[in-house]
């Protein structure tokens, strides 16, 4: 018998992260994450062990996210409550101050980062977040998105390059103001 609760607790944060990388909205992502686990619970007997169960789960998360976007239309969403991480955090660190307005500066940097993420393609943003925010390997992302590893690596590289360019430009412009 499948023990659902430990499975849920083990995977809920990463599933939410995958969903959020597509929807860019806290409430919608929570709703779709619930839908993902409901679908997994209902269809667990159909899992064929052809891949890791986590790959199957995250693939469902991607599909549910895309279905949700199709239903809602492709309205612009803002990226909320994101922590700086990975390859772009060093760019942000270069322009941060250590004086009394650090909190204000931090919020400005976060907004620039969020805006930069929203300028990536859906695929680049998803790959970047899965890799840098959720700690997934290229191989795991490849299985989830059903794309070759070299395509994932290329998309991640392009996302990082584009984010660095956007952040350096925007943070540089903010420094001048």
- Given 72, 97, 131, the domain boundary residue is 72
- Given 19, 40, 72, the domain boundary residue is 72
pLDDT of residue 61: 93
Q: Global pTM?
A: 0.64
User: Are 168 and 132 in the same domain?
Assistant: yes
User: Are 134 and 163 in the same domain?
Assistant: yes
Specify if 80 maps to a domain. Answer: no
Specify if 77 maps to a domain. Answer: no
Closest CA to 88 of 28, 152, 160: 160
What's the CATH number where 101 sits? 1.10.10.10
Residue whose pair of structure tokens reads 């760019």 in the numeric block: 91
The span from the CA of 51 to the CA of 68, in Å, is 25
Give the torsion sign (CA, 97, 98, 99, 102). positive
Residues 6+ apart with CB under 8 A from 26: 20, 80, 81
**Selected residue with higher pLDDT from 144 and 103:** 144
User: Are 99 and 170 in the same domain?
Assistant: yes
Domain that holds residue 19: 4-72
Specify if 79 maps to a domain. Answer: no
User: Are 153 and 107 in the same domain?
Assistant: yes
Query: How large a percentage of the chain has pLDDT more than 90?
Result: 32
Judge whether residue 17 has pLDDT over 80.
Answer: yes
Closest CA to 121 of 28, 47, 24, 31: 24
pLDDT of residue 35: 96
Q: Please compute the mean of the pLDDT values over residues 76-100 and round it to a whole number.
A: 42
Calculate Rg over the CA atoms of the chain: 18
Question: What are the pLDDT digits (tens) for 115-164?
Answer: 888 889 888 988 998 888 888 899 989 988 889 999 999 999 999 999 89
User: Are 64 and 93 in the same domain?
Assistant: no
């Amino acid at each position: 018998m499948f023990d659902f609760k430990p499975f849920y607790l083990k995977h809920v944060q990463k599933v939410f992260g995958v969903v959020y990388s597509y929807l860019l909205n806290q409430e919608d992502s929570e709703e779709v994450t619930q839908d993902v686990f409901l679908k997994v619970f209902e269809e667990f007997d159909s899992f064929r062990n052809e891949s890791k169960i986590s790959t199957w789960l995250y693939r469902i998360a991607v599909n549910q996210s895309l279905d949700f976007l199709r239903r809602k239309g492709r309205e612009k969403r803002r990226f909320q409550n994101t922590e700086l991480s990975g390859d772009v955090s060093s760019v942000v660190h270069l322009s941060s101050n250590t004086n009394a307005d650090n909190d204000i500066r931090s919020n400005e940097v976060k907004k620039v980062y969020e805006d930069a993420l929203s300028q990536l393609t859906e695929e680049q943003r998803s790959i970047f977040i899965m890799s840098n925010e959720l700690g997934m390997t290229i191989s795991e992302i490849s299985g989830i998105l059903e794309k070759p590893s070299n395509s994932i690596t290329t998309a991640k590289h392009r996302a990082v390059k584009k984010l660095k360019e956007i952040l350096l430009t925007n943070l540089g412009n903010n420094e001048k103001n």
